[in-house]
């Protein structure tokens, strides 16, 4: 049984597998409200589905951590919580819609 994460301010998750499952499912539900061709939806959906498959397909927490390769499960939970918040903001921002006005000249040019 895990006693501590070794990371200041990050407590051990009681049920990390269930927490991740719920978070990933919420992210996926939010993404379905976006247009199918939206880049954010496509890439986030792909990553989230891959991670959800790992979380649901493994019973040992150590193996889930190893397969996700994204730090401790507590860190992955934090990242998933932030992704859920971002996905909800993206719904409000609607970045897939055309710009209201033309972008300033050379805005998308690099280097200037």
Decide if 24 contacts 55 (C-beta within 8 A).
yes
Q: How far apart are CA 12 and CA 44, in angstroms?
A: 26
- Convert the pLDDT of each residue in 36-94 to its tens digit: 999 999 999 999 999 999 999 999 999 999 999 999 999 999 999 999 999 999 999 99
- Verdict on whether the full-model pTM lies above 0.85: yes
The token pair that represents 21 in the structure block: 């499952």
């Amino acid at each position: 049984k895990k006693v501590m994460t070794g990371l200041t301010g990050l407590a051990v998750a009681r049920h990390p597998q269930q927490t991740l499952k719920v978070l990933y499912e919420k992210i996926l539900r939010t993404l379905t409200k976006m247009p199918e061709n939206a880049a954010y939806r496509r890439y986030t959906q792909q990553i989230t589905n891959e991670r959800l498959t790992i979380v649901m397909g493994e019973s040992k927490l150590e193996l889930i951590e190893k397969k996700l390769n994204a730090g401790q499960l507590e860190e992955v939970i934090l990242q998933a919580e932030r992704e859920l918040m971002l996905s909800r903001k993206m719904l409000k921002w609607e970045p897939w819609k055309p710009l209201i006005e033309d972008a300033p000249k050379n805005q998308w040019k690099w280097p200037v």
